[in-house]
Amino acid sequence: LTGTPERIVIDDGAGRIGGDLRLRVGDYVGWVNATGRTCKLMFREVEFGRDQPRYKGRVWPFEGRGPGGDLEVPSSGWCGQVKALEGGNGRSVDYVKYDVLVTGDGPSVDLDPVIIIDR
C-alpha cells in the first residue's frame, strides 16, 4: 500500500509496476506487509466469459498446505510457489482473484486484484 489515497502496488522486482499479476506455474510470488497494520489475503478462482466474471470457491494457488482460511501476511513478508489449479480441464490459464483486506489503525482498505497463472 502506498500513496494517498492508499492503493496496492504490484512490482515485478525489475521496476515495472502494474495492476494484475501474471505468473507461470512454478514461479514464486511474494507479498510484503509494510503497512504496520493487519493485512489478509483471500484467494478465489474466477472464470471469465460472456456472462462476465464468475467467482467460484476459495482456492490455494501455491504449493504446500494453505492456512485453512485467509493468509495473514506478516511484516517480514510471505512467499509461495505457484501451482496449477486442480481440475484445469485443459485450460492453459487459471485466474485467481485475491481480496486484500488491510485493517487496524486508520480506515480499512479492501482491494481485489487478479493473479493470471499460465500453465
pLDDT digits (tens, 9 = 90+) for 24-42: 899 998 888 877 888 888 9
CA 5/CA 85 separation, integer angstroms: 34
Q: Note the pTM of the prediction, 2 decimals.
A: 0.76
Strands 21-24 and 114-118, bridge-based pairing: parallel
For residue 106, what pLDDT is reported? 72
- pLDDT over 90 at 87, yes or no: no
